[in-house]
Structure 1
Amino acid sequence: MKLIVNADDFGYSEGVNHGIMEAFYHGVVTSATLMVNMPGAGHAFALKQANPSLGVGIHLVLTCGKPLCEDVSSLMNEEGYFQKGKNFLDEAEPEEIRKELTAQFTRFVEQGGLPTHIDSHHHVHAHEKVSPIVIEIAKKYSLPIRMTRPNSEELKKAAILTTDFLAHTFYGEMATRDHLIELLETISEFETAELMCHPGYVDEAVITGSSYNVQRLQELEILKDPSLKQELAKRKIELTHYGSIKG
């Protein structure tokens, strides 16, 4: 079977970027998704260009940092940042969502070419107001989308390429080597799967801006464990990225 190990939050900060690249160079990470609106985005695009074998998709953002567009008031708080949480999307203007996501996708293409696939921060791409817009973009450019429980049937109906399974529980207290091995057992039953992870080094931007900070270091150390590749080989799991499973 084929497994994509995707590091979210590429572009969040240079510390996160360096951690992701460390997990790519010396661990099992094969893919990353880039946040074009965050301070480390330019650094991430440079790393992408220098490392073409890393699959890089777009991590669409509606809940972190500032929007690229200035006139999307239903998405913003009084300070000009995205509103926190996902509940605000229930009342957000669909055209403002479309405008911001289109701007983010365009920024990615301008700086890095087409992404390998599409996912999102806090899985907002599965929200009922967001999903149709993301599917429209994916169809236009023949791109895969990360599956989640809320959107798996919708992706099937739209004939959007995705994996057979998403392992999303390697996170927080569950980000342990033992749990990762448990996930490999589950993953081996499918033809294709994605393991979502969040490795990174802790810099000032992470400490001050993200509640998920030192945990990124813990993930990084596990993902670099040399014995993981033996565990993959034992289960005949081949590491890849979304660019190699396109139809």
Structure 2
Amino acid sequence: MSDSAPRRIWLCADDYGISPGVNRAIRDLIARGRLNATSAMVVAPALGRDEVAALQDVVTERNALGHRCAIGLHVTLTAPFRPLTMHFRPADGGMFLALPTMLQRGFVRRLDREIIQSEIAAQFAAFRDLFGHAPHFADGHQHAQLFPVVRDAFLGATATHAPDAWVRQGGRNRPLLKRLNSPKALLLDALSRQFRKRAARANLSFNSAFAGAYDFLRKPDFAVLMQQFLQGLPDDGLVMCHPGFVDETLESLDPLTTQREHEYDFLAGERFPPLLAANKVTLG
């Protein structure tokens, strides 16, 4: 690839299915050519067959124009969502454990790989039932696919149920000094090193680099963040995003609400395409 040729990246909207408002925003951005991937939560309340059909329609239209858009499985293993498998453990009141507890139990190896792998397999099966095909890729809600123990279950289930899918890793080849101000990025880098090794052993491909993690509670300027995400991102790198419109369903399930609308506004607006061009990247 010449120095002047644009690098093709993935811009993936997470959480399709979490609420009607999020679904509508994601479909609109795909139709505008502002996204080329989204991952669906089969355990979420807004992933009925009508919402799936609406997503497939807009993706089919983009594909017909030569702009491929991938649909993946957003494996979900944390509260407030509930498992599909009847005997999933550990659980809290019928729900998955909260993110901090799940991560902690992974580090001390107090998770059962077989039980987790069975749940992930059930989510793959639900995706195939809804969409009529295996997911093009697989990732994890709140990066749970990277956690110790969970990663082996996740990779094992993917290799069995979607062997042609690629998987999301959360590391980025950036100088250490540029990551020290982001503890979340440092943790994702550390977890992803082992994840990439295990994915390679399972003959699963993965994105070359990752960006998109930030402190949602600080409500930073998403335009500034996107510039940072794109800078130096290599070919086949991935930027995670969470656009959406706030509705009652979203408010009942997730603390990330109004920031989703800020993300949508920037991605749908006039400043985004020039930013892609200035960084010599394309979603095409």
Q: Which band: TM-score by shorter chain? A: 0.7 to 0.9
1:70 matched residue in structure 2: 86
Offset of residue 86 of structure 1? 4.3
> Which one of the candidate residues 27, 40, 46 is aligned to 1:21?
27
Q: Distance in 2 between matches of 1:17 and 1:167?
A: 22
1:146 matched residue in structure 2: 168
Q: Distance in 1 between matches of 2:165 and 2:278?
A: 31
Could you tell me which amino acid in structure 2 is paired with residue 12 of structure 1?
I
Q: Which runs of 5+ in 2 are unaligned?
A: 1-6, 64-68, 171-188
Matched, 1:56 2:79: no
Matched, 1:100 2:119: yes
Distance 1:196 1:156, change over 3 A: same
1:117 matched residue in structure 2: 137
Offset of residue 38 of structure 1? 0.7
1:182 matched residue in structure 2: 228
Normalised TM-score (structure 2): 0.77
Could you tell me which amino acid in structure 2 is paired with residue 56 of structure 1?
I
SS in 2 for 1:195: strand
Q: How many residues align?
A: 236
Write out per-residue CA displacement over residues 75-106 of structure 1, whole angstroms, 9 at most, x where no aligned residue.
3212x111212433432322221111110000
Could you tell me which amino acid in structure 2 is paired with residue 3 of structure 1?
I
Could you tell me which amino acid in structure 2 is paired with residue 50 of structure 1?
D
Normalised TM-score (structure 1): 0.88
1:244 matched residue in structure 2: none
What aligned pairs does 1:226-237 form with structure 2 within 5 A after superposition? 226-237=270-281
Distance 1:86 1:45, change over 3 A: farther
Which deviates more from structure 2 when the two are superposed, residues 199-208 or residues 134-143?
A: 134-143
- The higher radius of gyration belongs to 2
Q: Distance in 1 between matches of 2:257 and 2:128?
A: 29
Does the aligned pair in 1 maintain the 2:136–2:164 contact within 8 Å? Answer: no
Matched, 1:82 2:88: no
Offset of residue 63 of structure 1? 0.4
Could you tell me which amino acid in structure 2 is paired with residue 16 of structure 1?
V
Q: Distance in 2 between matches of 1:154 and 1:56?
A: 23
Q: Distance in 2 between matches of 1:219 and 1:6?
A: 12
- Higher RCO structure, 1 or 2 (CA under 8 Å, sep 6+): 1
Does the aligned pair in 1 maintain the 2:152–2:198 contact within 8 Å? Answer: no
Cα RMSD for the two superposed structures? 1.9
Q: Distance in 2 between matches of 1:131 and 1:229?
A: 35
Q: Distance in 1 between matches of 2:36 and 2:276?
A: 13
Q: Distance in 1 between matches of 2:240 and 2:70?
A: 14
Does the aligned pair in 2 maintain the 1:27–1:224 contact within 8 Å? Answer: no
Offset of residue 161 of structure 1? 1.0
Return structure 1 stretches of 4+ with deviation > 3 angstroms.
156-159
SS in 2 for 1:186: coil
